[in-house]
Structure 1
């Protein structure tokens, strides 16, 4: 599995797609890991995208190299980890997709390094840092199945199951949407983001 060492971390990541394609950084949430993106990545192999999905600080095979390194989930610190990864890979400008806590990191990247992020997609997150408007309710049916439809090794654990059962979204409950096979909505959200074209804005 590819990895990159920084002074604080041994960052492990999955990399798929076109080696010289447009770079897209895929940031997972909690309690997931980089495998969150496997099903998405497999469907984008022919889109001229270079897909990079790191295991975030404290997850999976990404480990600390420095005992004084912060043990934190702070979005700004994790954004600095992402910049270190992209610097190490020689990537200057990229798109970023954040799911759950990864959305906070994506926002921190866009705010802290606006010249490097050419576009971003925030999935399963309320915008916090950048003052982006919360999408109108009519968009919720498009977003919910996309962000919760991923299958990960960690995604079937008890905490996630309990969250799905208690999430107060009624008819928009992810299990119901996925059970209905409503994948077309997921595709439409991804298409509208512009990433499905494989061409940067």
Structure 2
């Protein structure tokens, strides 16, 4: 395979994958979406999150992975809420409406930083213990 053929092939594959990705995102958005995003100050962040289900239900925090966001739980969260769980789905740092409170705060995507973000979120929401799930 010469260079030009390789570039054409790679471009075609990339275009096909981006088309599939767009279709998957649209299908997920059509399947259900969160309407009300709330914001709360927690540690170094102003975190965007969804909080559904009974306030006195067992808290479950659903964490999205890269490259997804909270909409990946648009069907799961309501099902858990119907079972009596309080379901919290935050935008992780760098996603959605979650923002750093200070421009001077170092940007860090290490798991320990994200874990601290969740502890700060739990403190801000007065949640002592929660079940965590994610992918």
TM-score (norm 2): 0.69
Q: Greater relative contact order: 1 or 2 (C-alpha under 8 angstroms, separation 6 or more)?
A: 2
Partner of 2:85: 49
Which aligned runs of 4 or more in structure 1 are off by greater than 2 angstroms? none
CA distance in 1, matches of 2:103, 2:78: 36
Report deviation, 1:7. 4.5
Deviation digits for residues 122-181 of structure 1, max 9, x if unmatched?
Answer: xxxxxxxxxxxxxxxxxxxxxxxxxxxxxxxxxxxxxxxxxxxxxxxxxxxxxxxxxxxx
Partner of 2:128: 92
1:74 equivalent to 2:110? Answer yes
CA distance in 1, matches of 2:70, 2:132: 14
1:33 equivalent to 2:30? Answer no
Partner of 1:23: 59
Report deviation, 1:41. 1.0
CA distance in 1, matches of 2:59, 2:43: 24
CA distance in 1, matches of 2:97, 2:62: 16
Candidates 32, 45, 48, aligned match of 1:12: 48
Report deviation, 1:70. 2.5
CA distance in 2, matches of 1:7, 1:91: 15
Cα contact 1:23–1:50 (8 A) shared by 2: yes
Unaligned 5+ segments in structure 2 are 1-36
Cα contact 2:52–2:81 (8 A) shared by 1: yes
Cα contact 1:7–1:66 (8 A) shared by 2: no
Larger radius of gyration: 2
SS of the aligned residue for 2:50 comes to: strand
Cα contact 2:43–2:120 (8 A) shared by 1: no
Query: Where do residues 40-189 of structure 1 align in structure 2 (5 Å cutoff)?
Result: 40-99=76-135
SS of the aligned residue for 1:20 comes to: coil
Cα contact 2:59–2:88 (8 A) shared by 1: yes
Report deviation, 1:15. 0.9
